Structure 1
Amino acid sequence: MNKVLITGITGFLGSHIAEVLISRGISVVGLKRKNSDIWRCEEFKDKIEWVDILDNGSFINQLVNHSFDTIIHSAWIGVEANDRNNWIEQIKNVTFFVELLEAAKILEVKKIIFLGSQAEYGAINSKISEDFETNALNAYAATKLACLEILKSFSSINNINWIWLRLFSVFGEKENTNWLIPSLIKSMLSKSKIDLTLGQQKYAYLYVKDFAEIMAKIVIKDIESGIYNISSNEVRTIKSVMEDIKNIVNPEFILNFGALQYRSGQSMHMEGDMQKVMAQIGKIEFSNYDIALQSTLKYYLKK
């Protein structure tokens, strides 16, 4: 039976991963900062072995008191748009990751799963495979790619199975309030209109519960080391998604499309080809988009 360490377990993605793994009977160790709010894990917090990072940032000595054969690294400093070009903050992620690898070596970890990002590809305007050339356009993407090279070398030297997941757009319950859906709901309940671009960008929006199910398969199955896209299998324009939300939350709300210009270098079609990962874990059953969106909106409207 697998035992998995999850970094970033108190976050949007990490908490959903933990919930699914626990439901599969997989033991979970959660690494967090002392002052982290564990509200996303409230319903299953007693089933997690919690490990706190010390005030000085140290955690290796705490981790080595626990045994696990797999690491899911989802923690990351500076995911917000305003922080993505903060090199000083972004580089802290490299130091943290190297320390995590030291713990992995001591505990003879067999598999490391790292949550990368579609941002590593740079500007995207089509459905792309993992062979698409990387092009880091900010500190966030560059630091992710630096960690990828470190992971490949470290894993090769220490005979570790490494899985790098380039994650595309995800939506669902328990996001931070400044992300698209919760922030849009807030605007629809407190304002009369919002100015937007034309909203023609096409994104493959993956429901977070589907993402967590994919992660469970990657943990359980024997996967070849490598880079894998994680994406929905269908695209929707931002305009259509916003209109779907409006029709449920506040049909009278005005979405003023075309009032703003696209930013320079705007990606207009962001979708990852999933054939490579499905060849490893089998066919993926994606949730019905309308049902997933309704469930997501119901969650935020209750809040």
Structure 2
Amino acid sequence: MKNALITGITGQDGSYLAELLLEKGYNVYGLMRRKSVVDYGNVDHIKDKIHFIYADMTDIVSLINAMKVSQADEVYNLAAQSFVATSWEQPLATAEIDAVGVTNILEAIRLTNPSCRFYQASTSEMFGLVQAIPQCETTPFYPRSPYGVAKLYGHWITKNYRESYNLYACSGILFNHESERRGKEFVTRKITDAVARIKHGLQDCLELGNMDSKRDWGHSKDYVYAMWLMLQQEQADDYVIATNETRTVREFVETAFHKVGIEIEWFGQGMDEVGKDKKSGNILVKVNKDFFRPAEVDILLGNPQKAEKEMGWERQISFDELVERMVENDMSLVAKEIVAINL
């Protein structure tokens, strides 16, 4: 029976990964930061099956302790300040967690158990101002946010420890992956939550930024399986995990509204663009300049050929099913909210 240590276990990816590893018979350990109120987040339903250790990515002593307590055979580093917009507001905190924090956990592994296998959650945001379409493992990086820059450091320090200390350390360059467990600060969940609220009559309009941004969207459940596969290979390596399909934010909006029987028609462009309900003519979507990034990432499109060929990975959940799952989940949550209000 293997021991696995997951940082960021209460988040979207951490929860799906914990479920996967428990199904495979692992002893699962998860890092948590001390707070005044204990919050198990997305693993609340399986918290009794997980061994929690209090630690912080900025405190190497606590990470060394976590390694000693967990006796981990595999470490999955999913902890991050993962919201791109916040990285401009908190660039130093983002660097401490997403960049230096990776070095801290690698050092903890090197000092306590160098035979432990390590997974680093890299991101397509490292490509930023893309130098090639689609992006693969050899595409040059050009991050366009403090988040992307910090993640690039984490990516390269992982490779450096692999080559310098012969650690089994690999990075998954994961393109956008969403789910029903995504936080509402992310654009996809913001959209599906708003669609549910508009459908239920609790909200009038959804405000978004750049409608022309193109992203490669998959489901988190498929992507955490790729994380596990990476640590089961004979040699450590880095892999792009993506769908090789790209859609605009506008297309995501259209698909989400379509799932609740609302067809959107677009008028204007740029800052003046609005989306109207074809039947009622009501404006349901507005572009808000406040939601534009200081430096935009216009298109992300990943080529997962290496992962498919070498690991046998392939995504199972289509874009349409992803949006449907998210909309249905938010429709259910909003319906329960209405019932609670009326009690």
Q: What interval of TM-score do these two structures reach, taking the shorter chain for normalisation?
A: 0.7 to 0.9
Alpha-carbon distance between aligned partners in 1 of 2:140 and 2:213, rounded to the nearest angstrom: 21
Aligned counterpart in structure 2 of residue 202 of structure 1, from 214, 229, 232: 214
Give the TM-score of the pair, scaled to structure 2: 0.78
Compute the displacement of 1:285 (Å): 4.2
Deviation at 1:283, TM superposition (A): 4.2
Pair 1:245 & 2:256 matched: yes
Which of 37, 40, 43 does residue 42 from structure 2 map onto? 40
Secondary structure at the counterpart of residue 133 of structure 2: strand
SS of residue paired to 1:64: helix
| Residue matched to 1:288 | 318
Residues 1:100 and 2:111 are matched in the alignment: no
CA distance in 2, matches of 1:109, 1:248: 48
**Aligned-pair CA distance for 1:55:** 12
AA in 2 matched with 1:19: E
2:300 partner SS: strand
1:101-250 aligned at under 5 Å gives the runs 101-105=106-110, 106-124=112-130, 126-188=133-195, 189=197, 190-194=202-206, 199-219=211-231, 221-222=232-233, 224-249=235-260
Q: Secondary structure in 1 aligned to 2:119?
A: strand
1:98 is aligned with what amino acid? Answer: T
Secondary structure of 2:76's match? strand
Q: Which stretch has the larger CA shift, 273-282 or 197-206?
A: 197-206
Cα RMSD between the aligned structures? 2.8
Partner of 1:65: 69
Shift of 1:74: 0.7
Q: For 1:67 and 1:29, locate their aligned partners in 2 and report how far apart those are by CA, in whole Å.
A: 10
Q: CA deviation at 1:302?
A: 1.9
Tell me if the contact between 1:32 and 1:51 (Cα under 8 Å) persists in the aligned partners: yes
Residue type of the partner of 1:10? Answer: T
Contact 1:28 1:49 in 2 (8 A): yes
Partners in 2 of 1:102 and 1:20 — Cα distance? Answer: 27
- Say if 1:202 and 1:268, in contact at 8 Å, map to a contact too: yes
Tell me if the contact between 1:233 and 1:274 (Cα under 8 Å) persists in the aligned partners.
yes
The CA deviation string for residues 262-283 of structure 1, in whole angstroms up to 9 with x for no partner, is: 7676444311111112222114
Aligned residue for 1:301?
331
TM-score normalised per structure 1: 0.87
When Rg is computed on C-alpha atoms for both structures, the one with the higher figure is 2
Aligned residue in 2 for 1:23 = 23
Residues in 2 aligned to 1:131 and 1:145: alpha-carbon distance in whole angstroms = 14
In structure 1, runs of 5+ residues without a counterpart are none
Q: Secondary structure at the match of 2:238?
A: strand
> 1:183 is matched by which residue type in structure 2?
K
Could you report, residue by residue, the CA deviation over 1:173-221 in whole angstroms, capped at 9, with x for unpaired residues? Answer: 11111212332234332433345568344322111111122223223x2
**Aligned residues of 2:144 and 2:295 also touching (Cα < 8 A):** no
Q: CA deviation at 1:137?
A: 2.3
- Structure 1 residues 85, 152: closer, same or farther in 2, change over 3 A? farther
CA–CA separation in structure 2 for the residues paired with 1:15 and 1:21: 10
Identity of aligned residues (%): 21
- Contact map agreement 2:218 2:242 (CA 8 A) in 1: yes
Q: Is the 8 A contact 1:169 1:206 kept in 2?
A: yes
| Distance (whole Å) between structure 1 residues aligned to residue 51 and residue 211 of structure 2 | 43
Shift of 1:7: 0.5
Separation in 2, partners of 1:245, 1:187: 10
Q: CA, structure 1 residues 198+55, in 2 after alignment: closer, same or farther (shift >3 Å)?
A: closer
AA matched with 1:157: S
Q: List runs of 5+ in structure 2 lacking aligned partners.
A: 274-286, 334-343
Deviation at 1:256, TM superposition (A): 5.8
Quickly say closer, same or farther: Cα 1:80–1:249, change in 2 above 3 A.
farther
CA contact (8 A) 2:134 2:244 kept: no
Question: Separation in 1 of the partners of 2:159 and 2:123?
Answer: 16
After superposition, the C-alpha distances for 1:218-262 in whole angstroms (9 at most, x for unaligned) are 23x215333321112322332222111112246277766632477
Once the two structures are superposed, residues 102-139 of structure 1 have per-residue CA deviations (whole angstroms, 9 ceiling, x without a partner) of 32121234321100111111223731112111112222
Structure 1 residues 30 and 134: alpha-carbon distance in aligned structure 2, compared to 1, 3 A threshold: same
How many residue pairs were aligned?
302
Q: Which residue of 1 aligns with 2:79?
A: 75
Instruction: Give distance in 2, aligned partners of 1:268 and 1:122.
Output: 8
Name the CA shift for 1:192/1:114 in 2 (closer, same or farther; >3 Å).
Answer: same
Letter in 2 for 1:237: T
